[in-house]
Amino acid sequence: MKSVLAETAGKIRSMEIRGAGKIAREAVFALKSHAESLDDQNSSAFITKMRSAGEVLLSTRPTAVSLPNAVNIVLSGMNGEDDTGEIRAGIVSRADDFIERSNSAVRKIGEIGARRISDGDTVLTHCNSQVAIGCILEAHRQGKDIEVFATEVRPRNQGLLTIKTLNDAGIKTNFIVDSAARYFMKNVDIVVIGTDAVTVNGSVVNKIGTSQIALAAHEARTRVMVAAETYKFAPKTLTGELIKIEERDNSEVLSPEIAEIMPNVTVRNPAFDITPAEYIDLIVTEEGAIPPEMAYIIIKDYLGWKIGDFDRDF
């Protein structure tokens, strides 16, 4: 039987588990189960095994910074001086705490973000972000009359998940191909999206196509609101480290049969892109709504990182 760790890593890689928040929570749960399943009495062997479990999870998908942040939060407190039981108990307690705080952040962001969506607004969302959709659902729950444009999200069609949720909630929704975003932008009051990573200068890494949508919104003077738990902020960008953009398999875009008869064609399939801070009006975190320029404060005050901390991997 596959361990929870191997199963979770496989599901994150294949995108059965997807979306930055969910990836972080499931990875943390896998670390907790792994810690509970190891029967080592020797604390240094236990720590080494937990570190390799962290590496397995980190190798699954490179872009969502919620993953290294979550692994770091759970594993960084391991102390070789303690006995194995204490180290295990620490991991379990930090994992439970992370999952609880993450779920509570999703609820709080929904409430804070919903305040920025007014009665009568038309909202555009891209991809399938639990926190972005949470803001839209909460605005609807409060009785605001809203309408949504949701994109298809080629090549993995996460838009289908989004329209299902919106439809089930009874929200009037328009489903559009990704390339129709600029065409409809004149009808949109606010773009609401999630993120996989926010850099220290307030740039937002999200599903491929987000930056084009933000550019069209900027041109149309439509507001862009990003929903982001504080663990989506990327500490290592403090010293200029770049967020790695995942490039996924060709077959997601072009079937191997067609690719085979076109040897001069190369498929490029980046899963994410980067939207500069100047195209973003607001980032809603569980600690409140901030302008993107304040990203540094989140990294410093809420994640507790400062320059010089970079051997803090776990």
Which residues are known binding-site members? 18-21, 61, 206-207, 232
| Closer of 69 and 84 to ligand RUB (Cβ) | 69
Compose the 200-239 pattern: x for residues touching ligand RUB by CB under 6 A, - for all others: ------xx--------------------------------
138 binds ligand RUB (CB under 6 A): no
CB of 64 to ligand RUB, least distance (A): 6
**260, 228 contact by CB (below 8 A):** no
Q: Please identify, using beta-carbon distances, which residue of 94 and 207 lies nearer to ligand RUB.
A: 207
Contact call for residue 292 and ligand RUB (CB under 6 A): no
**Contacts for 93 with CB less than 8 Å, ≥ 6 apart:** none
What is the footprint of ligand RUB within residues 45-74 (CB under 6 A)? 64
- Of 121, 135, 196, 281, the active-site residue reads 196
281 contributes a contact to ligand RUB by CB under 6 A: no
Between 84 and 129, whose beta carbon lies closer to ligand RUB? Answer: 129
Q: Which two tokens stand for residue 106?
A: 């999703």
127 is catalytic: yes
The least CB distance from residue 131 to ligand RUB, in Å, is 4
**Residue closest to 283 by CA, chosen among 271, 300, 297, 295:** 295
Q: How far is the CB of 39 from ligand RUB (least distance, A)?
A: 34
Instruction: Please report how close the Cβ of residue 238 comes to ligand RUB at its closest, in angstroms.
Output: 22
| Residues in contact with ligand RUB, shown as a per-residue x/- string from 162 to 201 under the rule CB under 6 A | --------------------------------xxx-----
